Structure 1
Amino acid sequence: MAHLLGIDIGTSSTKSLISTTDGNILATATATHPISMPRPGFSEQNPHDWWNSTCQSVRSVMHKASISPESILAIGLSGQMHGSVFLNKNHEVLHPAILWNDQRTVTECDMIESIAGSKKKLIQAVGNPALPGFTAPKILWFRKHKPDLFEQTAKILLPKDYIRLRMTGTYATEVSDASGTLLFDVNNRKWDHAFMRKLHLDPSLFPDCAESHVVTAELSDTGAKELGLQSGISVVGGAADNAAAAVGNGVVQHGHLCSSIGTSGVMYAHSEVPEVDPHGRVHTMCSAVDGEWCIFGCMLSAGGAFQWFRNQLATFEFEQSKTLNQSIYTLLIEEACKIQPGSEGLFFLPYLAGERCPHMDPDARGCWIGLTQRHTRAHMIRSLLEGVTFGMNDMLQILRNMDISTEIIRLTGGGAKSNLWRQIQADIYNSPVTTINTSEGPAYGAVILAGVGADIWPDIQTACKAIVIEKEKLNPSSDRSVLYARYHNQYTKLYQALSSQFRSIEKI
């Protein structure tokens, strides 16, 4: 029997997934990798750590699935967007990768918009404004602050494409990930060489770009040995994590939307045409579906805020949960279930890493507002879940105001695993929400892309129709939706009132 392998290089870990050629998941395995924050606003990782976690997770999933390496037909890749991997001519990493949630490049963003002629002209050219998380500002920062290393740079890759290089020895990328660089003509699905030259960047720094399902290379002898696989396996283009998650959730046609709460929070709508928000509050990029697009927003700290809470304010319970072999998040959400909607007037602003959508504000900070002696830790947990979902709703409202169809909202990520958080989303979005038969997101999307590249399915839509099945539907409560609409309005006012103070804090 033939099998497909999907690999997702996330911010905190790499997940590998094996499925049969009819989409049945046999096993998954995860291996963690560290993140470094050497200064406030800085976020970096060592690309070698991605490769180590990839090798570990692939070997582990092969063991769990109990299949032979010869049965793997094709491999799909997914990965965190925007990260910059600087390589010399010998494929050696010159500097830690600068990540999607790094905020150091405000000056470079202003420079890019100035060179483009204006923010409006930049959006018209590449579909998006210049934001600190995107790739091009990082490259300009690196050139300015690390000139000796930039002089040695022969190629610049995105995270999953560095893993492709280690697997195959080939430089390549695909349209969905390239869309997040600010150096890609999203409308025409190709590198924008003219804009690169305006920024004095040599187009040869960037790899060839293909559609997401296209076979880009084959697994090399060296890569196969380290992964415990057989050489010669086809490796398809794959997709950026958001685009891959959309495929894994069957969000591949008009009217479908995905609400993904992972480390970041993403509200992702599929579109047959490249719709653009003239204000740049949400992003327009190429989807993994050939010749089609997506419009989405990304808040920088969603599930990441819950992870921060676990690490800083629930350390005892976290260690206890390991002993009891229970999920710490399940235990914390059980506390939150005791609290009524609205958390008795306690608000949480989830801007722990600055913010991207809808507020392009690297100086934004997280906070609880409204604390009283009556509030408990359970209130803080529930208000955190609500605050993150209010941020997700900000992006949903922008999409709705753009007349983007959101008939079906599918939930994925950590926010889809809890009954309480699923219901909070339905109530705040004031819309039915659904889950599907798998919660594996990007890794499953990578498997589907591998299957299309291997001609198991003729196209992505056919694949999703065959194997992605809706499982549960939750309807909103009209009373809670009315309550949350009032709370969301207040949440918005709190950010507006504090935004100038956030900037003052940054300057102290």
Structure 2
Amino acid sequence: MSKYIAGIDGGTMGVRCVIVDFKGNEVSSAYFETPTTYPKPGWVEQNAEDFMDLALKSTEAAISKANIKGEDIACVSFTNMRSTFVPVDKDGNFLHPIFIWQDLRGVEMFPWMEERMAKYDMDWADLYKITGFPKGAVWPSSKVYWYKKHFPELYEKTYKMVTPQALLIKALGADGWYDDDTDAGWWQICDADTFEYVPKLAEVFEVDIDKYPKNYKPTTKVGEVTPEVAKLTGLKVGTPLIMGSGDQQCGAIGVGNVASGLASICLGTAGLVIGYSDEPVRHPTAACHVLGHPGTGNWTMEGHASAAASAFRWVKNTISDSEVQEAALRDIDVYEILTAEAAKSPPGAKGAIFMPWLAGEACPYYEDNARAAFIGMTLAHTKADLYRAAMEGICFEMKQMLEALKAANFKEFKLLRVTGGAARSDVWNQIQADIYGSPVETVKVSEATALGACMLGAVGVGIYKDIHEAAENMVQVDKRFEPIPENVETYKEVFKIFELGFNALRKETFPAIVNFQNKE
């Protein structure tokens, strides 16, 4: 009898395999970083072969670390960084490096997209009504058009443009390229209500629907582990491969976001705020994008921040050399030192405010020219204040997205479940509760994205009848943080200043900075 489920998470920074039991307890995990290259400013690429190799390597390492047998694993399911793709020909050859979601080269195609839409009496608002996706540099749509423009011969050779999940599934033994329908909206040529491709939009943007992935519902069996893969990983031949979903959708179900009244927040490499809806949903000003909810077939609405906790990593890399050395000497995580230092600063960081837009501003304003800044500093401020201001500024951006979801008529969120690297910090979780003004909970399995994939796998092989039963059995709450009333009031005031700062800079200062930077 099997005892465990394996979830493989192909993330932005690396590939991780997590093995859990049927109650969601983590048994083992293994992680390997994926080499990333930056050929030009704004270009972000990875090698597809590296990505697939690390799927096998991480699985073998996780099984070996747990000292379990392959037959103990009921199935393997998958999750991946979203809004990312690689073109492949009929023979399985990759025609270009992976276009990572952080890649911004597609911005070049926005004027062309507008011209094409105008020929069909459409604009960005019309596109949003169909696809649930506003104008944005993160989505792969504009990068597909960039690829077709600059590499027309390779585009003609392209058999499929596939996502990282398809790479993972193929690496583990599938006989073809398989993607999931709940994550298809990123292509910006899908109907957000049905998750189906829209032929008219393919015509508008002069692309071939046949070159896009064939999509399947999460929990669908899409293959089995082959003898070759079994030899490389330790899995049993014939182990079912179960379709998962995108990392943030999996992260949402991995913290129990499977019904109304609860929202999930991820403070990881990117930042996400996710609400669940029983009905098709759109934002009145197109501030948030819409995807499918895996396991229920319903919908999620999301706000997206391109930097989030990555901005705090930048702070660490920029001003924390001594703390990094101290962490190495004490053999502890450097972020324990940074957040402990931040706790010495009062709520509001004495008026120092961090604007976290190191990779532009996405939801709710989609201001690609936005740039990061510390404002409000005086001679009285210390490094502790800067650390706290950075943590608060990142949370203020999340609060903006929560406010955007409310504008889409979501029911009141009585509870927020948080995940991502920041959720490991009690200091940061209390800051979140105070800034959002809502109770915040963490879950015991920190890798909620992989857990969500495992939950879909559990449903796919019949361990649980549906995602609700899987959530009841596999999601375990760890800690709860209640908002502190006096801190809530302080942050209401500081949040207003945060928004005033953004609005003061966005019209003239941010564009002037970008113009100067583009001369370099």
Task: Tell me what 2:57 maps to.
Answer: 56
1:115-264 to 2 correspondences below 5 Å: 115-116=116-117, 117-167=122-172, 168-264=174-270
Task: Tell me what 1:307 maps to.
Answer: 313
What secondary structure does 1:184 align onto? coil
* 2: CA distance, partners of 1:111 / 1:130: 13
TM superposition shift of 1:316:
4.1
* 2: CA distance, partners of 1:104 / 1:207: 22
2:24–2:476 CA contact under 8 A, matched in 1: no
The question of 1:73 aligning with 2:56 is answered no
* 2: CA distance, partners of 1:223 / 1:108: 40
What secondary structure does 1:237 align onto? strand
Task: Tell me what 1:30 maps to.
Answer: 31
2:275–2:300 CA contact under 8 A, matched in 1: yes
Q: Which one of the candidate residues 447, 453, 466 is aligned to 2:460?
A: 453
Q: Aligned letter for 1:364?
A: A
CA displacement, residues 199-242 of structure 1 (integer Å, 9 cap, x when unaligned): 22212212221111111222233443443423322111101011
Query: 5+ residue gaps in structure 1?
Result: none
Extract structure 1 runs of 4+ deviating beyond 4 A. Answer: none
Task: Tell me what 2:444 maps to.
Answer: 437
1:397-436 to 2 correspondences below 5 Å: 397-405=403-411, 406-436=413-443
Q: Which one of the candidate residues 466, 471, 480 is aligned to 2:478?
A: 471
1:123–1:278 CA contact under 8 A, matched in 2: no
* 1: CA distance, partners of 2:114 / 2:222: 33
CA displacement, residues 331-386 of structure 1 (integer Å, 9 cap, x when unaligned): 11111111011111111111111121112122211111122222222111110000
CA displacement, residues 29-70 of structure 1 (integer Å, 9 cap, x when unaligned): 211113222322222222223223322221111012111122
Q: Aligned letter for 1:412?
A: T
Q: So what's the TM-score if we normalise by structure 2?
A: 0.94
* 1: CA distance, partners of 2:224 / 2:199: 28
Q: Aligned letter for 1:284?
A: V
* 1: CA distance, partners of 2:102 / 2:108: 16
1:212–1:290 CA contact under 8 A, matched in 2: no
Of 209-218 and 46-55, deviating more is 46-55
Query: 5+ residue gaps in structure 2?
Result: none
Q: So what's the TM-score if we normalise by structure 1?
A: 0.96
* 1: CA distance, partners of 2:115 / 2:239: 45
Task: Tell me what 1:494 maps to.
Answer: 501
Residues 323 and 222 of structure 1, relative CA distance in 2, 3 Å threshold:
farther
TM superposition shift of 1:319:
4.4
* 2: CA distance, partners of 1:113 / 1:227: 48
TM superposition shift of 1:176:
2.4
Task: Tell me what 2:19 maps to.
Answer: 18
* 2: CA distance, partners of 1:218 / 1:36: 32
2:221–2:460 CA contact under 8 A, matched in 1: yes
Aligned length: 508
2:24–2:445 CA contact under 8 A, matched in 1: no
CA RMSD of aligned residues (A): 1.7
2:184–2:190 CA contact under 8 A, matched in 1: yes
Of 216-225 and 69-78, deviating more is 216-225
CA displacement, residues 368-406 of structure 1 (integer Å, 9 cap, x when unaligned): 112222222211111000000000000001112222121
Q: Which one of the candidate residues 280, 290, 294 is aligned to 1:288?
A: 294
What secondary structure does 2:450 align onto? helix
The question of 1:332 aligning with 2:338 is answered yes
1:197–1:203 CA contact under 8 A, matched in 2: no
1:84–1:138 CA contact under 8 A, matched in 2: no
